[in-house]
Amino acid sequence: MVEQMRLWEDVKCLAGAQQARLAVALDVQQRGEQAAAGVPVAVMFL
């Protein structure tokens, strides 16, 4: 049972890491789209 709990904790950590990577990728994508649309940099960081 302890081994199963450890494995599920590993899965949870991997999912959290992937979510963080996706959040960064989305942020980069959105900032790129905003820059291409001419949104000033100062506005992007609000």
1-46 pLDDT, tens digit per residue, is 999 999 999 999 999 999 999 999 999 999 999 999 999 988 877 7
Q: If you search the block for the tokens 């049972």, which residue do you land on?
A: 1
Does 45 map to a domain? Answer: no
Does 16 map to a domain? Answer: yes
Domain that holds residue 3: 1-31
Does 39 map to a domain? Answer: no
Radius of gyration of the chain (CA): 18
Give the pLDDT confidence score for residue 6 in this predicted structure: 97
Does 15 map to a domain? Answer: yes
Does 18 map to a domain? Answer: yes
pTM (2 d.p.)? 0.77
Q: How many domains does the chain have?
A: 1
Three-state helix/strand/coil letters over the chain? CHHHHHHHHHHHHHHHHHHHHHHHHHHHHHHHHHHHCCCCHHHHCC
